[in-house]
Amino acid sequence: MIRIHVTEALSKDQSLLATPEHQHYLINVMRLNAGAEVLVFNGEDGEWRARLAVLSKRQVALEVLEKVREQYATPDLELWIALVKRARLETIVEKAAELGVRRIRLVVTRRTNAERANVARLQAIAVEASEQTGRLDAPEVLPPTKLESLLSSPSDGRRLLFCDEQGDDQSKAWGGPDGRAPPALDALSSLTPGAPFAVLIGPEGGFTPEERGELRGLEWVIPASLGPRILRADTAAIAALTLWQARLGDWAGLESPSS
């Protein structure tokens, strides 16, 4: 069934006016008629079954009928992603929403190869991905912030997985093979699920030695390697989020079909 993310509070017998974007999608793209049913959610009140009511050519309403799923909290996982080229950044935001990220922070580093981002478009991509994946909320996409500012702010107990792929003499202190940081699975395996967490992915040019030094100097930062190959930012983000979900997130408690 088609799912729609709305911003209004949801309750039984409520009537919601569809946004122009939703109206176009429901009527012109999906070809729904009056009486068709959809699912609506807002990230706070669970998921509700709603009926389409065509009031006029320019106005469509959604009549909220009944709650079908209670609201639940996604893991407190953030993705800190350095600004990269638009197409890759859009892919990263889409996949982060599919992988259950609660918040996406756009980060400006010294080697970012993009100076700005269309946050409104990225937010729309995150919402659309959330509608398609069945989650009951949509990740928030935050405006670009300098890495130094994020690192100088209190972490509030949040740990940060720093995907450090640089293999120079400085990183040998971490004890990884060939001077690399420890494998991500090893770095995550000793941690307890449930704590706030963030994953940091750098730009295509990597972090500068100064940035890496600052990151390695923070107790709440966990350096990790994503393997023997250098990954592009979009691949690295997907890989790191997948590993975190499998070890510490809402994949960790899933049983296999044979169990």
Which residues on adjacent β-strands are paired with residue 141?
104
My answer on whether 33 and 154 are in the same domain is no
What's the distance, Cα to Cα, between the start and end of the chain in Å? 30
Query: Using one digit for the tens of pLDDT, what is the confidence trace for 203-239?
Result: 988 899 999 999 999 999 999 999 888 899 999 999 9
My answer on whether 137 and 180 are in the same domain is yes
Q: Is residue 99 part of a domain?
A: yes
My answer on whether 131 and 199 are in the same domain is yes
My answer on whether 90 and 65 are in the same domain is no
CATH code of 146's domain: 3.40.1280.10
Q: Is residue 20 part of a domain?
A: yes
175: pLDDT confidence band, cut at 50, 70 and 90? very low
Q: Is residue 256 part of a domain?
A: no
Q: Is residue 259 part of a domain?
A: no
My answer on whether 132 and 203 are in the same domain is yes
Residue range of the domain that includes 62: 3-69
My answer on whether 182 and 107 are in the same domain is yes
E strands present in the chain: 3-5, 15-17, 37-41, 47-56, 59-69, 77-82, 103-108, 140-146, 159-163, 197-201, 221-224
Q: Is residue 252 part of a domain?
A: no
Q: Name residues whose C-beta falls within 8 Å of residue 93's C-beta, 6 or more positions apart in sequence.
A: 104, 122, 125, 126, 129, 141
Residue 140's Cβ-count burial label (10 Å; 0-12, 13-18, 19+) is middle
> For the ranges 21-30, 42-51, 129-138, 235-244, which has the lowest average pLDDT?
21-30
My answer on whether 101 and 140 are in the same domain is yes
CB-based contact 223:78 (threshold 8 Å): no
My answer on whether 60 and 105 are in the same domain is no
pLDDT reported for residue 174: 45
> In residues, how long is the chain?
259
CATH code of 36's domain: 2.40.240.20
Q: What percent of the chain has pLDDT over 90?
A: 70
Tally of domains in the chain:
2
244: pLDDT confidence band, cut at 50, 70 and 90? very high
My answer on whether 121 and 152 are in the same domain is yes
Q: What percent of the chain has pLDDT over 70?
A: 91
pLDDT reported for residue 57: 73
My answer on whether 131 and 243 are in the same domain is yes
Q: Is residue 255 part of a domain?
A: no
CB atoms within 10 A of CB 51: 15
User: Of 238, 160, 167, which Cα lies nearest the Cα of 200?
Assistant: 160
Q: Is residue 257 part of a domain?
A: no
My answer on whether 121 and 155 are in the same domain is yes
Instruction: Report the mean per-residue pLDDT for the chain.
Output: 89
Whether the predicted pLDDT of 141 surpasses 50? yes
Domain boundary, last residue among 39, 69, 99: 69
Domain boundary, last residue among 23, 44, 69: 69
Give me the mean pLDDT over the 140-149 stretch: 96
Residue whose entry in the numeric block shows the structure tokens 């702010």: 153
